[in-house]
Amino acid sequence: MAAPRRDTRGIVDAPELFARVRFRRHEPAEPLRPYLEHYWLIDWDLTEPYASHVVPHPSVNIVFQRYAGQEPFSEVSGIGLGLFTQKLEGRGRVCGIQFRPGGFRPFAPERPLTSLTGERIPLGAVFPSPEGAARAAVDAVLTPDDEHARVAALDAFLLDRGPAPDPQADLAMALVDRIRRDRAIRRVADFARAEGMSVRALQRLFSAYVGVGPKWIILRYRIHEALERAETSHEVDWAGLAADLGYADQAHLVRDFTATVGVPPTAYTGGASRP
């Protein structure tokens, strides 16, 4: 598996975020790599509050968190359907596990992924453990200043909990990866036919193992690409980009971008009206 991604897809105003926090990605232990995108670590020490914004990936995350004035805690975060905003202030630390779409189910085989979509659930409710074990896991991940020790704690947490081999999870991960990599995939019916599946079977698989439907994923990856293009260029050919992403016209791209990010793409590239 390739090393952790270096792109900023999904992060709204990435340069502003990176100017205020330390953000790193790390590769998990080898047995976990088929199921995970990466670990992500954020530390901050701010003199003024800052709100970060992310257009979520179609991924489940396990997140260990410590914010100023709060007790550390952990949760399972299902796929976010809208723009995710988190206020950061003072000193804090977050250590996250981003699963590949379809990669979480082998660690919680009894839980259909739609039960997590749009939800943030205490870690102990998804992975029951003896009293005190959940807090011990939070301390093991968040306490070390050495980030490699944090990564080792994340590895240990997951290796203690699976994964259980599941060919259907493998199939779901492979199908989502094809959608992510191939911009020519634009219609669910065509995609299902090319994969030798019925639309209904494809939708059932995604519901159980990913948490959202294939149409939603096609749209979300389009918006990620449009957002990254807006981040890296102030002179985007939006009509051309709409055509490249399979939109009927520029207006449809503008509508989806505005609904997801919160501002029209031209305002976003101008920087004046970002969320």
Tell me: the pLDDT tens digits for 149-197? 999 999 999 999 889 899 999 999 999 999 999 888 989 999 999 999 9
Tokens for 274?
């970002």
Q: How confident is the model at residue 245 (pLDDT cuts 50, 70, 90)?
A: confident
CA distance 107 to 76: 12
263: left (phi over 0), alpha (psi -120 to 50) or beta: beta
CA distance 187 to 149: 44
Q: What is the arithmetic mean of pLDDT over 55-81?
A: 95
SS3 22: strand
List, for residues 247-265, the tens digit of each pLDDT value. 888 999 999 999 988 888 8
More reliable by pLDDT, 141 or 124:
141
Residues of the chain with pLDDT > 70, as a percent, come to 95
Q: In this structure, what are the phi and psi dihedrals at residue 80, rounded to the nearest 5 degrees? A: -85, 130
Domains of the chain: 14-159 (2.60.40), 167-270 (1.10.10.60)
Positive or negative: CA dihedral 254, 85, 45, 133: negative
pLDDT of 272 strictly over 70: no
Q: What is the arithmetic mean of pLDDT over 71-77?
A: 95
Q: Is the peptide bond before 163 cis (omega within 30 degrees of 0)?
A: yes
Q: How confident is the model at residue 275 (pLDDT cuts 50, 70, 90)?
A: low
List, for residues 11-65, the tens digit of each pLDDT value. 988 889 999 999 999 999 999 999 999 999 999 999 999 999 999 999 999 999 9
For residues 174, 57, 65 and 36, what is the CA-based torsion angle, rounded to 10 degrees?
10
26: left (phi over 0), alpha (psi -120 to 50) or beta: beta
Q: How confident is the model at residue 273 (pLDDT cuts 50, 70, 90)?
A: very low
Q: How confident is the model at residue 206 (pLDDT cuts 50, 70, 90)?
A: very high
More reliable by pLDDT, 63 or 9:
63
pLDDT of 1 strictly over 60: no
Residues contacting 194, CB < 8 A, separation 6+: none
Which residue, 176, 194, 192, 265, is CA-closest to 226? 265
Q: Given this model, what pLDDT does residue 9 score? A: 85
Q: What is the arithmetic mean of pLDDT over 67-96?
A: 94
Q: What is the arithmetic mean of pLDDT over 230-237?
A: 78
Contact 96, 62 (CB under 8 A): yes
* Pairing assessment for the beta strands 73-77 and 120-122 based on DSSP bridges: antiparallel
Q: What is the arithmetic mean of pLDDT over 98-102?
A: 97
Q: What is the arithmetic mean of pLDDT over 130-142?
A: 86
Tell me how far CA of residue 105 lies from CA of 77, 109, 170, 199, 232, in angstroms. 13, 5, 10, 21, 35
Contact 218, 185 (CB under 8 A): yes
List, for residues 137-146, the tens digit of each pLDDT value. 999 999 999 9
Start-to-end Cα distance in the chain: 35
Q: What is the mean pLDDT of the chain?
A: 91
- Give the DSSP H/E element, type plus range, for residue 21: strand 21-26
pLDDT of 231 strictly over 50: yes
By mean pLDDT, which of 36-40, 91-95, 203-207, 240-244 is the weakest? 240-244
For Cα atoms 248, 254, 257, give the angle at the middle one, nearest 5 degrees.
115
The residue behind tokens 């270096």 is 6
Give the pTM.
Answer: 0.91
pLDDT of 234 strictly over 80: no
The residue behind tokens 């199921």 is 35
